[in-house]
């Protein structure tokens, strides 16, 4: 009885393996839609931001509150066009000190705790080039993004506030990697390192607002 059961199990496994091989050969006989057509990818990431240049002179702490959202049109030639946005916020509190504060063209000295804040909401278009084909399980890339960002600069002196906001030009080159686990899988993970420079100058924030953001999140591609 046992030899018969063993033979049945062996035949079942052999048949399953043969069927899988045939499916793989059949699938590989035709080009993937990812390689033939324009397909799509979306990504959502969380990151930390390191201040640089003029931004470091205003707030010199690492920001833990950064989110990014991207959408891309993937072309068979390994490049993509996309749009990206997100939300970036950083804050630093300074100890109580005497500060010369100007309001309505009248200068005065006040003793206050200073709380510096900066919010940025980017709105950019991106161009990316991938070093692996569109079906690959691992896809490293380089990216250049440009457009603008809404900036809110608010520096609190106790209950008083010095505020300026507006939409300014911005650029954001980046490098990254998408990992899907296996070829043609839709859901994957992504890491990215992005240098961002927003051309915003005001009071304590001088010579634009550059930063380096390191982010990680999920990515999903489909056709």
The full set of domain ranges for the chain reads 32-100+108-222
CB of 196 closer than 8 Å to CB of 210: yes
pLDDT of residue 26: 45
Q: How far apart are CA 183 and CA 185, in angstroms?
A: 6
pLDDT of residue 160: 86
CB of 64 closer than 8 Å to CB of 86: no
- Whole-prediction pTM value? 0.82
pLDDT of residue 11: 41
pLDDT of residue 52: 95
Max Cα-Cα span within the chain: 101
Residue spans of the chain under pLDDT 50:
2-27
Question: DSSP string of 34-66?
Answer: HHHS-EEEEEEEEEEEEE-HHHHHH--SPEEEE
Burial of 214 (0-12, 13-18, 19+ CB in 10 A): middle
pLDDT of residue 208: 86
User: Which CATH number does the domain 32-100+108-222 belong to among 2.40.160.20, 1.10.8.60, 3.40.50.300, 3.10.20.30?
Assistant: 2.40.160.20
Where does the chain show beta strands of DSSP type E? 39-51, 63-74, 79-103, 106-130, 138-157, 160-179, 187-198, 209-222
């Amino acid at each position: 009885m046992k030899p018969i059961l063993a033979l049945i199990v062996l035949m079942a496994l052999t048949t399953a393996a043969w069927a899988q091989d045939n499916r793989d050969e059949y699938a590989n006989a035709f080009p993937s839609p990812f390689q033939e057509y324009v397909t799509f990818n979306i990504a959502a990431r969380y990151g930390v931001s390191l201040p640089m240049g003029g931004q470091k002179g205003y707030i010199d702490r690492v920001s833990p509150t950064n989110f990014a959202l991207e959408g891309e049109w993937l072309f068979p030639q390994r490049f993509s066009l996309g749009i990206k946005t997100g939300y970036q916020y950083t804050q630093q509190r300074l100890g109580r000190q005497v500060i010369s504060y100007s309001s309505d063209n009248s200068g005065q000295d006040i003793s206050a705790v200073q709380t510096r804040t900066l919010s940025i909401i980017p709105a950019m278009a991106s161009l990316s080039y991938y070093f692996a084909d569109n079906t690959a399980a691992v896809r490293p890339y380089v990216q250049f993004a440009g457009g603008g960002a809404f900036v809110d600069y608010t520096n609190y002196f106790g209950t008083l506030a010095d505020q300026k906001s507006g939409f300014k030009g911005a650029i954001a080159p980046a490098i990254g990697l998408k990992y899907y686990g296996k070829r043609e899988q839709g859901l994957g993970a992504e890491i990215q390192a992005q240098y961002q420079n927003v051309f915003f100058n005001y009071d304590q924030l001088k010579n634009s607002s550059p930063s380096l953001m390191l982010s990680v999140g999920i990515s999903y591609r489909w056709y």
